[in-house]
Amino acid sequence: MGQLAFLRMFLLVSIPTDVNDNRRHVHVFRKGGRHLRSTAKIWIERDGEKCVEIATSELSAKDNQMIVNAIERHWEFINEQITKTFNGEKTVVRNIKK
């Protein structure tokens, strides 16, 4: 699992086995607690072009919007880190602002 970024109480993650999915995306995990599970999946591109959209989410509309806005602002960094995950390289975790 490639940890990409922290955003407030959330962790954005890329999963190496997702390389075969038809669109690049991140999974959103809520920090804290004993068990981690994805609370949202956010597409970050369509046909190789930047396109940030919520695929699935259990989060509030406010949290969804905050995460989408942060991904939009840090898209290049996140996309580069996903490439590193898929290539088996070490990712850099960054604290990003909302």
Residue 23, pLDDT score: 87
- Cβ proximity of 16 and 2 under 8 Å: yes
Burial class (CB in 10 A: 0-12, 13-18, 19+), 28: buried
**95 strand-pairing partners:** 6
Please give the mean pLDDT across all residues of the chain: 84
| Interatomic CA distance for residues 50 and 35, integer angstroms | 31
pLDDT tens column, 84-95? 888 888 888 878
Q: What is the DSSP string of 71-94?
A: HHHTHHHHHHHHHHHHTTPPP--E
